[in-house]
Amino acid sequence: MKIGNDIYYVGVNDHQVDLFEGQYDVPNGMSYNSYVIMDEKIAVMDTVDANFTEEWLGNVAEVLNGVKPDYLIVQHMEPDHAANIENFMKVYPETIVVANTKTFTMMENFFRGMDLEGKKLVVANGESLTLGKHVLTFVFAPMVHWPEVMVTYDSTDKVLFSADGFGKFGALDVEEDWDCEARRYYIGIIGKYGPQVQKLLKTAATLDIQTICPLHGSVLTENLGHYLEKYDIWSSYKVESEGVVIAYSSVYGNTKKAVEVLAQKLEEKSCPKVSVFDLARDDMAEAVEDAFRYGKLVLASITYNADMFPFMKTYIDHLTERNYQNRTIGLIENGSWAPNAAKVMKAEFEKSKNITWLDTTVKIMSSLSEENMEQLDQMAEELCK
Ligand SMILES: Cc1cc2nc3c(=O)[nH]c(=O)nc-3n(C[C@H](O)[C@H](O)[C@H](O)COP(=O)(O)O)c2cc1C
């Protein structure tokens, strides 16, 4: 695939991956993107995952068509992109590896014994490399999402090679909505680093960008304002859409019943969107994604050894770890002798910024009482205000 005049896509699709980054379900697989810029000097942008060495080297060789590459530019050391640096250098030993100091340090640790003596070009933030027609400028983007990350701007074709930024789950041979899987990817993987992404967006706003080439997911060529706006919303922790997420943990079904009653009441009141998650069974990353997408959240948990249920604890950890803020939360607890889940769930958000708590907390003793039904009514009323 050709992008612009001299840029070629040489990435691969992965449909074998079981969990991406050890935790994310990727039903439509994953793509590991890599690009070749053919100019007077030839640059290869990043490598791919260790399971795709031959396929990727084949893609690169096809584009090179017998010519030797001059540079291998390494924007990010995470192994899904960087695993083949040594393999590449074995095939093309005269290549100069272009990276920043932090990247080279990580490279030494990942590839012990790889000798890059005389084959390193250490670049500084804002430094440029001229390939011929193409001038590449390196912009450091620490913690988007590792500390060594840099993105690369090609001012000739107005392309931003954005590393993991603007990436998504899903292989490129599967058609799917960008927003949904890019949001789940962003919130899950980069969500913690909103301020760093905001900083990068400010730099990006000063550049004339016509194409974004991320390391995962589609190359973005049209309507770039849409993607930039989404990244601005996500990285500033703003509410993206009106709606209520209800996340629950239930063993015997009574807390689940309360959640169903609440969801029905909200729908009767024409709540714009109600998104319900059983935290033991549904995709945790999607439940996290939706909590950041919508403005209101209800957490419903049984009391479990004077604490909340373990899946709920994990869920709240995922939220607070990613700086969950600027939102409204309501609580439903259940217990058969000393319900305590609401108190412990609330305490988890002590350090979270700008959380509004619903006045109504629903306290269930084993099964739903008439009073609980009224409380659920009040809760629905508050959520729909
Ligand atoms: C392992 C375990 C520990 C529990 N610990 C408590 C507890 O500390 N306090 C309490 O009031 N109930 C406790 N319960 C009882 C449940 O919270 C209670 O039965 C609740 O109504 C279950 O709701 P559900 O029908 O949605 O599963 C415990 C239950 C289990 C299985």
Q: How high is the ipTM of this complex?
A: 0.99
- Where does the chain hold its CATH 3.60.15.10 domain(s)? 2-235
Angle at which helices 284-293 and 178-185 cross, to 10°: 100
What integer pLDDT is reported at residue 217 of this predicted model? 98
Which are the contacts of 180, defined by CB distance < 8 A and separation ≥ 6?
Answer: none
Q: Which tokens hold the place of 348?
A: 């988890």
Q: How far is CA 309 from CA 143, 153, 245, 250, 279, in A?
A: 32, 47, 18, 8, 10
Mean pLDDT of 334-358: 98
Centre of ligand 1 to C-alpha 247, Å, is: 17
Res. 319: pLDDT tops 90: yes
- CATH annotation of 241-383: 3.40.50.360
For residues 363 and 39, give the distance between their C-alpha atoms in angstroms, rounded to a whole number. Answer: 67
CA of 109 to the centre of ligand 1 (A): 48
- Check pocket membership of 248 for ligand 1, CB cut-off 6 A: no
pLDDT of residue 297: 98
pLDDT exceeds 90 at position 4: no
Mean pLDDT in residue range 200-227:
97
Q: What percent of the chain has a predicted confidence (pLDDT) above 90?
A: 98
Q: Which residue from 356, 361, 359, 324 is spatially nearest to 343, judged by alpha carbons?
A: 361
* Angle formed by the axes of helices 284-293 and 310-321, nearest 10°: 50
Mean pLDDT of 192-204: 96
What does the pLDDT look like over 119-160, one tens digit per residue? 999 999 999 999 999 999 999 999 998 999 999 999 999 999
Q: 260-283: b or e for each residue (b if 16 or more CB lie within 10 Å)?
A: ebbbebbeeeebeebbbbebeeee
Residues 6 or more apart whose Cβ sits within 8 Å of residue 287: 245, 247, 277, 279, 315
pLDDT of residue 369: 98
Cβ of 300 less than 6 Å from ligand 1:
no
The secondary structure of 61-123 as a DSSP string is HHHHTTPPP-EEE-S---HHHHTTHHHHHHHSTTPEEEE-HHHHHHHHHHSTT---TT-EEE-
Q: What percent of the chain has pLDDT over 70?
A: 100
Every domain of the chain with CATH number 3.40.50.360 lies at 241-383
Q: What is the mean pLDDT of residues 63-68?
A: 98
Q: Tell how far the Cα of 331 is from the centroid of ligand 1, in angstroms.
A: 16
Q: Is 367 helix (H, G, I), strand (E, B) or coil?
A: strand
Average pLDDT over residues 26-38: 98
| Ligand 1 centre distance from Cα of residue 311 (Å) | 14
Residue 318 confidence (pLDDT): 98
Q: Contact 183/169 with Cβ under 8 angstroms?
A: no
- Looking at domain 2-235, what is its CATH homologous superfamily? Ribonuclease Z/Hydroxyacylglutathione hydrolase-like (3.60.15.10)
250-266: average pLDDT: 98
Q: Reply yes or no on whether the pLDDT at 248 is more than 90.
A: yes
Answer whether residue 5 shows pLDDT above 90.
no
pLDDT at 249: 98
For residue 290, the Cα-to-chain-centroid distance in whole angstroms is 13
If you take atom 19 of ligand 1, which residue's CA is the nearest one?
336
Mutate to test the pocket of ligand 1, among 255, 299, 301, 303 (most ligand atoms within 8 A of CB): 303
Amino acid letter for position 300: A
